[in-house]
Amino acid sequence: MRGSTRIASPERAGLVSDGPSDPAEQASREVWRERASVAESEAKAVDQSGRPLGPRALHTRQRLLDATRELLRERSVRDVSVVEIARKASTSPATFYQYFKDVAEATLRLAEQAADEVPAVIELIDGPWRGQKGLETARAIAAAFVDHWDAHRAVLLVRNLAADEGDRRFQKVRRRALAPVIEHLAAQIRQSQAQGRIPSQLHPAAAAAALASILERLAAYHKEIEFFGATRGDLVETCARILLQTVTGRSAP
C-alpha cells in the first residue's frame, strides 16, 4: 500500500453500479475512497508547506515517528511533548513542525502505518476454512491480531480513544483498518450460509463485526487477561475456535 501503489475503487473496477445504493454499499464505497486517498497521499508525501519529501527528509520524518511511538509506550499522548519527541529523534522542535502540525498528527501517521499491515490479515481470512486447515486459518488470524496489537498497542489505543471521542481523522483510519476485516469475514459467512451451514437469521456483517470486536479487544488486553490464568496461547486458541464456529457453522475438529 506504500510507494506509488494506487488502489482502484469498486466503481473503476466495475464492481459497483452507478445506480442507487443501500447504506451498507455506500459505506463500502466510502472505505474504498479512503483507501485510495491514503495511498495517494503516501505516494506524494509532503512537508507542512506542501513540498515533496526526498529520501533524506523521509528518513528524518520516520525518525520522528519512531520517537513518538517510543514515548507513547511510556505515557499518555497528552503527556508527550514535541520537545521530547525532537530530543529523542536527535533533532529540533522546529524540524518536527516541518513535518507535523502537532503530536496528534504524528500519532495519526503512526496509526496509518499500522493500518497498512491489514492486507496481510485479509490474506489469512481468504484462506481455507475446511477441516483442520480451517482451524489453522482461524489460529493464524487470532495470532496475527495479537501480534499486531503487541507491535502497535500504544498507537492503537490512542487511535481508538480519539475515534470514540469523535475525531474524524482517527475514525477514518480505524475504519480503514477494520472495515476490510469485517468485509472479508462477512463474505466467508455468506458463503457458509449459501451452503446451508449457518442459519439465515445470522446477519453476515453483524456477525463479522462482532468477531472483529472480539479479536481486537482481546488482542489489546491479552496481558491483562493473563491475570485470570489464560495464557497468550489460550487466548489465540479460544478466539480461533469462536472464529471457526461462527464463520463455518462447524466445531473445530
Does 161 map to a domain?
Answer: yes
pLDDT tens column, 119-159: 999 999 999 999 899 999 999 999 999 999 999 999 999 99
Place of cell 491480531: 145
Does 16 map to a domain?
Answer: no
Q: Tell me the pLDDT band of 220, cut-offs 50, 70 and 90.
A: very high
pLDDT tens column, 159-218: 999 999 999 999 999 999 999 999 999 999 999 999 999 999 999 999 999 999 999 999
Q: Mapping DSSP to helix (H, G, I), strand (E, B) and coil, where does residue 166 land?
A: coil
pLDDT for the residue numbered 152: 97
pTM: 0.79
Query: What is the CA 118 to chain-centroid distance, rounded?
Result: 5
Contacts of 7 (CB under 8 A, 6+ apart): 1, 32, 35, 36, 39
Does 76 map to a domain?
Answer: no
Does 190 map to a domain?
Answer: yes
Domain interval for residue 232: 114-248
Q: How far apart (Å, rounded) are the C-alpha atoms in residues 217 and 234?
A: 15
pLDDT for the residue numbered 44: 61
Tally of domains within the chain: 1
Does 240 map to a domain?
Answer: yes
